[in-house]
Structure 1
Amino acid sequence: MHCVKKVTDDLYWIGGSDRRLALFENVYPIPRGVSYNSYVLLDEKTVLLDTVDASISGLFFENLEYVLDGRTLDYLIVNHMEPDHCAIIGDVVRRYPDVKLVCNAKTVPMLKQFFDFPVEDRTVIVKEMDTLCTGKHTFAFVMAPMVHWPEAMVSYDTVDKILFSADGFGTFGAINGNLFADEVNFERDWLDDARRYFINIVGKYGVQVQNLLKKAATLEIKMICPLHGPIWRENLGWFIEKYDTWSSYKPEDQAVMIAYASIYGNTENAAEILASKLADKGVKNIAMYDVSVTDPSVIVSESFRCSHLVFAAPSYNGGIFTKMETVLSELKAHSLQNRTVAIMENGTWAPVAGKQMREIFAGMKNIELLEEGVTIRSAVKEAQEASLEALAEKITSSLT
């Protein structure tokens, strides 16, 4: 039985959701699942915009056959070659042997790497702002290299003013019947997942996202159809502004996040004392995470959200506690910048974590490393009271 949603009079969503998948890209936890969006336009020519992950291929083909209702498939627009969107292109070609694949030149070698069918025989190569007329509708194509693969592009329906945004403007989370962002409380229920999706998947490529946003600003966009998550038809500016903030590495909130690693609870105690002192000084909405139980993707996302970051860790095997080292490596890989950072360390006989953590942040762009820090010898003592107080005061004063 098909599961199809009507987007406009002649545009249909034929995607699906996977609530069983535990890790997106086998890395990022997705407790709310994920959707794979695919769209069909019924014009004089029929157009499929991207496919889906192999995990929902059965549902996808039921939906596609239902919408086509006996018609053949004329075009498949390939906006992005990642397997969660292209895995079943080979099956589409076998079922619809006359279909033409609309893509850019960088897509062709990837098609050959993933599939065995003769690629050149069926490709329509498009360049920046080339157009494809399908009858009533005309598509224009905008290249989006490294958002977040080199071949990525977006497609713009010049008639209905719809942007098919590939991985842009997507989010983790399964579709629960409500296909449109205005049908859910997006800010309450989806924003954290949207941020975590963007920062971890695309965040490293902020410059490239900024370039795409500048191109998009020249288009009249009435609807955004991403490859993951709800479709946007209202309040587009609010979500676009979030993307502008995230991709320019600006803090979303003037807020403090404390991420700590603790083996026996002593470093955690120091982090708790600091948080309490910050609260006493009027700092609100402090976020705290134990890096041993919180997935790095959450801490990376929160580090992009907050303006002030505190990292507390014990020394371990002559270095940084392993879970914290992983987090810091991820932050560097995702090009974190423009933040105020404070360091706390613990060590029973040779504390070295603080020095090594500072070296990591010193290699990042526009990081203000506070001179004020805290060194604990095994457990928090009265001797650390002054340094904890000084750090809390410095963070509080720099927030205003």
Structure 2
Amino acid sequence: MFNVRQISDDFYYVGGNDRRLELFENVYPVPDGVSYNSYLLVDDKTVLLDTADAAIAHQFLENLEHVLDGRTLDYVVVNHMEPDHCATLCDIVVRYPDVKIVGNTMTFRMMKQFFNFDVDQHAIVVKDGDTLETGHHVLSFVTTPMVHWPEVMMTYDSTTGILFSADAFGTFGALHGNLFTSEMDLDESFWDEARRYYTNIVGKYGVQVTNALKKASTLDISMLCPLHGPIWDEDISLMVEHTASWAAYKPEVKGVMIAYGSIYGGTANAAEILASKLSEKGIHNIKVYDISKTDLSYILSESFKYSHLVFASASYNAGLFTPMQNLLIEIKEHLLQNRTCVLIENGTWAPSAKKTMKAILEPLSWNYIGEELTIKSRMKNADFEKIEALADVIVEDMNKEHQVKEEAPVRKWRCKICGYEYSGEELPENFICPLCKHPASDFEEITE
């Protein structure tokens, strides 16, 4: 049986929930499932905005058929080619053989990699700023490359002010009947999942998200319709502010996150003592994680949240404890900036954790504070004094008013493939884009 809701004049929600899914993208735990959002415009022409994941194909197609009520489907707009939003595109083409598919050049290049139907026969290629008139509505297309794939675009309806924002402004979690944010209590747990979604899915692309927000700021937006999570009919500015802050890598709270990797308990003990000392000295926002138990997606999200990060790890095979190595690589790959960091190592016969941790994190140019702290197997009396001193250093640094230095203007280059921006005096000839791995020859200088 169909399950649809009208979201505005002529627009309907035809998506659905997958509550059985355990790992989103087969990586990130989603204990509360996930929603796959799809929207249908019923005007003089009918327009489907994105399809859905194969897991909810039956429900999605039933919803679509019900709202069409015997009419054919004229257009499908593909804002994002990822399979969780396009897996059922082939079903659409089979059911509605005359349908036209709207996307950009990169969209159709990818589409041909996923499907065997005659893509060119259905394709309408659009670029940034192009429009599609459907009768009473005018849809315009806003390209937002690398948020978080290179083909991504958003669709704006100037008639209603609705922005269909692809993976931007989304969250983990299935919907519980409450489709709109005006029907929900946006408590701390909601924002924790919203941040975890952003940091893990989009977090690497801060520059690209900022560019997308600049484009969105020129639009008169009444509603945000993402591909995951609730529709933003209220608190739009709050979601945009959070997203802008995450994209700029600004900590949400002045506090300390301690993540430890411990084998026999010595490193865990040091982390717990440090947390207690910080509390005694008046720090309220403290979070401690055992990285062998907590999934890395949660700790990455918390790393975006807190201003000061402590990583305490055992040495392992003359290197770094494997779970800690995996965590730090995740953080490095997500390009997290503007953090103050403390490193603690433990080792019995050859302490090596700190050197390895610093080498992994080196590209992020973080601010390291505190004297080197190396524990030999278990905490001793002298180590207590060092932990106390380390807590003092952290508290002192947290009480400082960190001022942003005014830097001299620099030149900027943008990757023509993915939109990544490089700043500096010159673009090195051997530079490789950290996002799409294309060479310097695929960059152009930004002159505006």
Provide Cα deviations, 1:354-375, integer angstroms capped at 9, x if missing partner. Answer: 121122222213x101142321
2:161 alignment partner AA: K
- For residues 80-95 of structure 1, the aligned pairs below 5 Å read 80-95=80-95
1:338, CA displacement in angstroms?
0.5
- 2:372 aligns with 373
Tell me, in whole angstroms, the C-alpha distance in 2 between the residues paired with 1:264 and 1:19. 37
Residue 260 of structure 1 contacts residue 312 of structure 1 at CA under 8 Å; is this kept in 2? yes
- For residues 319-398 of structure 1, the aligned pairs below 5 Å read 319-365=319-365, 367-398=366-397
Provide Cα deviations, 1:106-127, integer angstroms capped at 9, x if missing partner. Answer: 1111111111111111111111
For the residue of structure 1 that corresponds to 2:238, the secondary structure is: helix
- 2:68 aligns with 68
Tell me, in whole angstroms, the C-alpha distance in 2 between the residues paired with 1:190 and 1:182. 14
1:10, CA displacement in angstroms?
1.3
For the residue of structure 2 that corresponds to 1:304, the secondary structure is: helix
Stretches of structure 2 that go unaligned for 5 or more consecutive residues are 400-448
* Residues 1:142 and 2:142 aligned together: yes
For the residue of structure 2 that corresponds to 1:190, the secondary structure is: helix
- For residues 181-196 of structure 1, the aligned pairs below 5 Å read 181-196=181-196
Tell me, in whole angstroms, the C-alpha distance in 2 between the residues paired with 1:305 and 1:182. 25
Which consecutive aligned stretches of 4+ in structure 1 deviate over 6 angstroms post-superposition? none
Tell me, in whole angstroms, the C-alpha distance in 2 between the residues paired with 1:106 and 1:327. 32
For the residue of structure 1 that corresponds to 2:187, the secondary structure is: helix
Work out the percentage of aligned pairs sharing the same amino acid.
Answer: 59
Residue 370 of structure 2 contacts residue 394 of structure 2 at CA under 8 Å; is this kept in 1? no
1:359 alignment partner AA: A
| Bigger mean CA deviation after superposition, 103-112 or 353-362 | 353-362
- For residues 148-297 of structure 1, the aligned pairs below 5 Å read 148-297=148-297
For the residue of structure 2 that corresponds to 1:337, the secondary structure is: coil
Residue 373 of structure 1 contacts residue 387 of structure 1 at CA under 8 Å; is this kept in 2? no
Aligned-residue Cα RMSD (Å) equals 0.8
1:377 alignment partner AA: K
Residue 358 of structure 1 contacts residue 369 of structure 1 at CA under 8 Å; is this kept in 2? no
TM-score with structure 2 setting the length: 0.88
1:216, CA displacement in angstroms?
0.4
- 1:128 aligns with 128
1:324 alignment partner AA: M
1:395 alignment partner AA: I
Tell me, in whole angstroms, the C-alpha distance in 1 between the residues paired with 2:358 and 2:116. 49
Provide Cα deviations, 1:312-365, integer angstroms capped at 9, x if missing partner. Answer: 000001111000000000000000110000001111111110121122222213
For the residue of structure 1 that corresponds to 2:105, the secondary structure is: coil
Tell me, in whole angstroms, the C-alpha distance in 2 between the residues paired with 1:189 and 1:10. 33
Residue 314 of structure 1 contacts residue 320 of structure 1 at CA under 8 Å; is this kept in 2? yes
2:276 alignment partner AA: S
Tell me, in whole angstroms, the C-alpha distance in 1 between the residues paired with 2:197 and 2:231. 16
For the residue of structure 1 that corresponds to 2:8, the secondary structure is: coil
Provide Cα deviations, 1:159-194, integer angstroms capped at 9, x if missing partner. Answer: 100000000000100011000112111233311111
- 1:106 aligns with 106
Stretches of structure 1 that go unaligned for 5 or more consecutive residues are none
TM-score with structure 1 setting the length: 0.99
Count of matched residue pairs: 399
Residue 370 of structure 2 contacts residue 393 of structure 2 at CA under 8 Å; is this kept in 1? no
